[in-house]
């Protein structure tokens, strides 16, 4: 009898649009601080060869921020996708990969250079030894990708999984809005 009442209750709740504490009503926390439509925070990053990338630089190209750690299993899957995207759109965008700690451990520049060479990556990267920049974007989760337009407005975000096709579609969408 109780089972029948429970099933009946769930059925009524489902048809009425009121959902019990499971299903689609759960708000999944993505860890985002910045979302699509938000402005990139101001930043200045020193990359290899003493180049500096700034949020307010002269280049009027879409900007791609990638937070990663080479010891992260999801990052290991996504970094080759990002490299392919970077190689094929080198002249259409600015990209920078920003290291982030994994379980409290930060990577050295030498570790990242070794990983980049091993996998033939050419994307610019920045070594971070704190979470100050990352915390302006999110609370948790890598890889984390932000694509902003030339006006520094975030147009697309990806967390943990992205395909080459999704990246190209996001860039095409940004370029169409110009």
Q: Tell me the per-residue pLDDT of 63-121, one tens digit each, with 9 for 90 and over.
A: 999 999 999 999 999 999 999 999 999 898 999 999 999 999 999 999 999 999 999 99
How far is the C-alpha of 163 from the C-alpha of 167, rounded, in Å?
6
Residue 22 pLDDT > 50, yes or no?
Answer: no
Residue 6 pLDDT > 80, yes or no?
Answer: no
- Please, what sign has the CA dihedral across residues 86, 145, 177, 165? positive
Q: Among residues 85, 64, 78, which one has the least CA distance to residue 156?
A: 64
**pLDDT band (50, 70, 90) for residue 165:** very high
Which CATH number describes the domain made up of 32-176? 3.40.30.10
The residue extents of the domains of the chain are 32-176
Per-residue confidence (pLDDT) for residue 113, from 0 to 100: 95
Q: Tell me the per-residue pLDDT of 24-59, one tens digit each, with 9 for 90 and over.
A: 434 567 788 899 999 998 877 766 554 545 554 556
Q: Tell me the per-residue pLDDT of 122-137, one tens digit each, with 9 for 90 and over.
A: 999 999 999 999 999 9
Q: List CB contacts of 106: < 8 A, sequence separation 6 or more.
A: 99, 127, 128, 129, 130
């Amino acid at each position: 009898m109780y089972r029948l009442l429970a099933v009946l209750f769930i059925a009524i709740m489902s048809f009425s649009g009121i959902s019990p504490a499971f299903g689609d009503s759960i708000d999944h926390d993505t860890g985002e601080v910045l979302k699509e439509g938000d402005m990139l925070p101001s930043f200045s990053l020193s990359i290899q060869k003493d180049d500096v990338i700034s949020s307010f630089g002269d280049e009027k190209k879409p900007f791609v921020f990638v937070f990663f750690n080479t010891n992260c299993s999801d990052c290991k899957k996504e970094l080759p996708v990002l490299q392919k995207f970077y190689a094929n759109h080198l002249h259409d965008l600015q990209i920078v990969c920003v290291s982030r700690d994994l379980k409290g451990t930060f990577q050295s520049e030498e570790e990242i250079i070794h990983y980049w060479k091993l996998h033939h990556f050419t994307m610019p990267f920045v070594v971070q030894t704190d979470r100050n920049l990352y915390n302006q974007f999110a609370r948790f989760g890598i890889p984390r990708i932000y694509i902003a337009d030339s006006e520094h407005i975030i147009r697309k975000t990806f967390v943990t999984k992205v395909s080459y096709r999704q990246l190209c579609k996001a860039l095409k969408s940004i370029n169409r809005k110009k």
